[in-house]
Amino acid sequence: MKVLDLFSGLGGFSEAFLRSGDEVVRVENNPLLSEVPNTTIQDVKEMRDRLVRFKEEGHPIRKVDVVLASPPCYEFSLAFSAPRAIASRNGTIDEYQPNMQLVELAIEIIQILKPGYWIIENVVGSIRYFKDIGLIPSQIHDAFVLFGKFPKFETPIGMPSKAQKDSFHGDPLRANKRALIPLELSMAIREAIVSQKTLFDDYNIA
Protein backbone atom coordinates (compact mmCIF):
# COMPACT_ATOMS: atom_id res chain seq x y z
CA MET A 1 0.00 0.00 0.00
CA LYS A 2 0.98 3.64 -0.46
CA VAL A 3 0.66 5.44 2.87
CA LEU A 4 0.92 9.16 3.69
CA ASP A 5 1.52 10.02 7.34
CA LEU A 6 0.87 13.73 8.12
CA PHE A 7 2.25 15.39 11.29
CA SER A 8 4.18 12.16 11.58
CA GLY A 9 6.39 13.01 14.59
CA LEU A 10 8.27 9.90 15.67
CA GLY A 11 6.39 7.83 13.10
CA GLY A 12 4.27 5.68 15.38
CA PHE A 13 1.05 6.00 13.36
CA SER A 14 2.59 4.46 10.23
CA GLU A 15 5.17 2.18 11.87
CA ALA A 16 3.27 -1.07 11.26
CA PHE A 17 2.84 -0.16 7.59
CA LEU A 18 6.55 0.57 7.23
CA ARG A 19 7.58 -2.66 8.94
CA SER A 20 5.23 -4.60 6.66
CA GLY A 21 6.90 -3.25 3.53
CA ASP A 22 4.31 -0.68 2.51
CA GLU A 23 5.45 2.50 0.76
CA VAL A 24 5.32 5.11 3.54
CA VAL A 25 5.92 8.85 3.26
CA ARG A 26 6.02 10.75 6.55
CA VAL A 27 5.55 14.52 6.55
CA GLU A 28 6.76 16.50 9.55
CA ASN A 29 7.87 20.13 10.02
CA ASN A 30 10.26 19.62 12.95
CA PRO A 31 13.84 19.32 11.63
CA LEU A 32 14.83 17.50 14.83
CA LEU A 33 12.85 14.55 13.47
CA SER A 34 14.57 14.43 10.09
CA GLU A 35 16.34 11.17 10.99
CA VAL A 36 13.07 9.29 11.53
CA PRO A 37 12.91 6.81 8.62
CA ASN A 38 10.95 7.93 5.53
CA THR A 39 10.41 11.44 6.94
CA THR A 40 10.24 14.49 4.71
CA ILE A 41 10.63 17.82 6.52
CA GLN A 42 7.88 19.93 5.05
CA ASP A 43 5.10 22.25 6.15
CA VAL A 44 1.69 20.63 5.63
CA LYS A 45 0.27 23.93 4.36
CA GLU A 46 2.93 24.03 1.65
CA MET A 47 2.04 20.46 0.73
CA ARG A 48 -1.66 21.39 0.49
CA ASP A 49 -0.84 24.41 -1.67
CA ARG A 50 1.28 22.29 -4.02
CA LEU A 51 -1.47 19.68 -4.38
CA VAL A 52 -4.03 22.40 -5.12
CA ARG A 53 -1.73 23.88 -7.76
CA PHE A 54 -1.13 20.49 -9.38
CA LYS A 55 -4.86 19.84 -9.48
CA GLU A 56 -5.63 23.25 -11.00
CA GLU A 57 -2.92 22.78 -13.63
CA GLY A 58 -4.19 19.34 -14.54
CA HIS A 59 -1.16 17.41 -13.39
CA PRO A 60 -1.76 13.82 -12.30
CA ILE A 61 -1.79 13.32 -8.55
CA ARG A 62 -0.25 10.10 -7.33
CA LYS A 63 -2.66 7.57 -5.86
CA VAL A 64 -2.51 7.10 -2.10
CA ASP A 65 -4.23 4.16 -0.41
CA VAL A 66 -4.12 5.37 3.20
CA VAL A 67 -3.75 8.82 4.75
CA LEU A 68 -2.93 9.00 8.44
CA ALA A 69 -2.90 12.35 10.25
CA SER A 70 -2.19 13.19 13.87
CA PRO A 71 -2.38 17.00 14.18
CA PRO A 72 -0.82 18.48 17.34
CA CYS A 73 -3.24 18.06 20.23
CA TYR A 74 -2.11 21.03 22.36
CA GLU A 75 -5.14 23.17 21.44
CA PHE A 76 -7.52 20.39 22.54
CA SER A 77 -5.64 18.82 25.41
CA LEU A 78 -7.11 18.63 28.90
CA ALA A 79 -3.61 18.72 30.41
CA PHE A 80 -3.21 21.26 33.22
CA SER A 81 -1.06 23.75 31.30
CA ALA A 82 -2.91 23.50 27.96
CA PRO A 83 -5.00 26.52 26.87
CA ARG A 84 -8.30 24.66 26.99
CA ALA A 85 -7.71 23.56 30.59
CA ILE A 86 -6.69 27.10 31.52
CA ALA A 87 -9.88 28.47 29.94
CA SER A 88 -11.91 25.93 31.90
CA ARG A 89 -10.32 26.98 35.21
CA ASN A 90 -10.86 30.65 34.34
CA GLY A 91 -14.54 30.08 33.58
CA THR A 92 -14.13 31.06 29.91
CA ILE A 93 -14.41 27.61 28.35
CA ASP A 94 -17.58 28.58 26.45
CA GLU A 95 -15.64 31.31 24.65
CA TYR A 96 -12.56 29.20 23.99
CA GLN A 97 -11.91 28.55 20.31
CA PRO A 98 -8.95 26.35 19.40
CA ASN A 99 -6.98 26.90 16.21
CA MET A 100 -8.38 24.35 13.76
CA GLN A 101 -6.11 25.22 10.83
CA LEU A 102 -3.95 22.10 10.91
CA VAL A 103 -6.96 19.80 11.18
CA GLU A 104 -8.61 21.58 8.27
CA LEU A 105 -5.42 21.29 6.20
CA ALA A 106 -5.41 17.54 6.79
CA ILE A 107 -9.02 17.32 5.65
CA GLU A 108 -8.24 19.32 2.49
CA ILE A 109 -5.35 17.01 1.62
CA ILE A 110 -7.56 13.97 2.16
CA GLN A 111 -10.24 15.48 -0.09
CA ILE A 112 -7.70 16.08 -2.85
CA LEU A 113 -6.02 12.66 -2.63
CA LYS A 114 -9.23 10.67 -2.12
CA PRO A 115 -7.56 7.69 -0.42
CA GLY A 116 -9.42 4.45 0.13
CA TYR A 117 -8.89 4.85 3.87
CA TRP A 118 -8.09 7.82 6.08
CA ILE A 119 -7.75 8.40 9.81
CA ILE A 120 -7.29 11.57 11.82
CA GLU A 121 -6.17 10.88 15.39
CA ASN A 122 -6.41 13.20 18.37
CA VAL A 123 -7.24 13.41 22.06
CA VAL A 124 -10.61 13.13 23.79
CA GLY A 125 -10.68 16.91 24.25
CA SER A 126 -10.85 17.34 20.47
CA ILE A 127 -14.27 15.70 20.07
CA ARG A 128 -16.26 18.81 20.94
CA TYR A 129 -14.42 20.96 18.40
CA PHE A 130 -14.01 18.42 15.61
CA LYS A 131 -17.79 17.97 15.64
CA ASP A 132 -18.14 21.61 14.58
CA ILE A 133 -16.34 20.84 11.30
CA GLY A 134 -18.22 17.61 10.65
CA LEU A 135 -15.87 15.06 12.21
CA ILE A 136 -17.47 12.49 14.51
CA PRO A 137 -15.35 9.85 16.26
CA SER A 138 -15.38 6.50 14.48
CA GLN A 139 -13.64 4.75 17.35
CA ILE A 140 -12.02 5.57 20.69
CA HIS A 141 -9.17 3.43 22.00
CA ASP A 142 -8.11 4.57 25.45
CA ALA A 143 -6.72 8.12 24.93
CA PHE A 144 -6.66 7.77 21.14
CA VAL A 145 -9.70 9.14 19.33
CA LEU A 146 -9.93 8.12 15.67
CA PHE A 147 -11.98 9.98 13.08
CA GLY A 148 -12.31 8.92 9.47
CA LYS A 149 -12.98 6.11 7.02
CA PHE A 150 -11.51 2.79 8.11
CA PRO A 151 -12.64 -0.68 9.22
CA LYS A 152 -13.60 -1.16 12.85
CA PHE A 153 -11.27 -3.13 15.13
CA GLU A 154 -10.91 -4.08 18.78
CA THR A 155 -8.60 -2.19 21.13
CA PRO A 156 -5.27 -4.06 21.12
CA ILE A 157 -4.55 -5.97 24.32
CA GLY A 158 -1.74 -4.41 26.32
CA MET A 159 -1.67 -1.21 24.32
CA PRO A 160 0.09 1.55 26.33
CA SER A 161 -1.68 4.86 26.84
CA LYS A 162 -0.32 8.30 26.06
CA ALA A 163 -0.10 9.03 29.77
CA GLN A 164 2.46 6.26 30.21
CA LYS A 165 4.94 7.87 27.82
CA ASP A 166 6.90 10.87 29.05
CA SER A 167 10.36 12.39 29.25
CA PHE A 168 12.04 15.19 31.15
CA HIS A 169 10.68 18.72 30.74
CA GLY A 170 13.75 20.01 28.91
CA ASP A 171 13.54 17.35 26.19
CA PRO A 172 12.85 19.15 22.85
CA LEU A 173 10.95 16.09 21.66
CA ARG A 174 8.90 15.67 24.83
CA ALA A 175 5.60 16.49 23.11
CA ASN A 176 6.37 14.04 20.30
CA LYS A 177 7.21 11.28 22.76
CA ARG A 178 4.03 11.87 24.74
CA ALA A 179 1.96 11.84 21.55
CA LEU A 180 3.61 8.74 20.09
CA ILE A 181 1.03 6.30 18.78
CA PRO A 182 1.96 2.80 20.00
CA LEU A 183 2.93 0.07 17.59
CA GLU A 184 0.05 -2.08 18.85
CA LEU A 185 -2.49 0.48 17.61
CA SER A 186 -0.72 0.95 14.28
CA MET A 187 -0.67 -2.83 13.78
CA ALA A 188 -4.38 -3.14 14.57
CA ILE A 189 -5.23 -0.40 12.07
CA ARG A 190 -3.17 -1.99 9.31
CA GLU A 191 -4.56 -5.46 9.99
CA ALA A 192 -8.13 -4.14 9.83
CA ILE A 193 -7.45 -2.41 6.50
CA VAL A 194 -5.66 -5.38 4.96
CA SER A 195 -8.43 -7.75 6.08
CA GLN A 196 -11.11 -5.59 4.54
CA LYS A 197 -9.16 -5.13 1.32
CA THR A 198 -8.72 -8.88 1.07
CA LEU A 199 -12.41 -9.46 1.70
CA PHE A 200 -13.68 -6.93 -0.85
CA ASP A 201 -10.65 -6.78 -3.18
CA ASP A 202 -11.32 -3.06 -3.54
CA TYR A 203 -9.16 -0.03 -2.65
CA ASN A 204 -12.16 2.30 -2.55
CA ILE A 205 -14.69 0.64 -0.30
CA ALA A 206 -17.70 2.90 0.27
For residue 8, pLDDT over 80 is answered with yes
pLDDT for 140: 96
The mean pLDDT of 168-178, rounded to a whole number, is: 82
pLDDT for 164: 60
pLDDT digits (tens, 9 = 90+) for 54-99: 999 999 898 999 999 999 988 888 787 888 889 988 999 888 999 9
pLDDT band at 166 (very low <50, low <70, confident <90, very high): low
Domain positions in the chain are 2-200
Could you tell me the CA-to-CA distances from 11 to 4, 74, 107, 120, 149 in Å, in that order? 11, 18, 20, 14, 20
Look at 140 and 202; give whichever has higher pLDDT: 140
Q: What is the CATH number of domain 2-200?
A: 3.40.50.150
For residue 126, give the nearest of 107, 110, 160, 103 by alpha carbon: 103
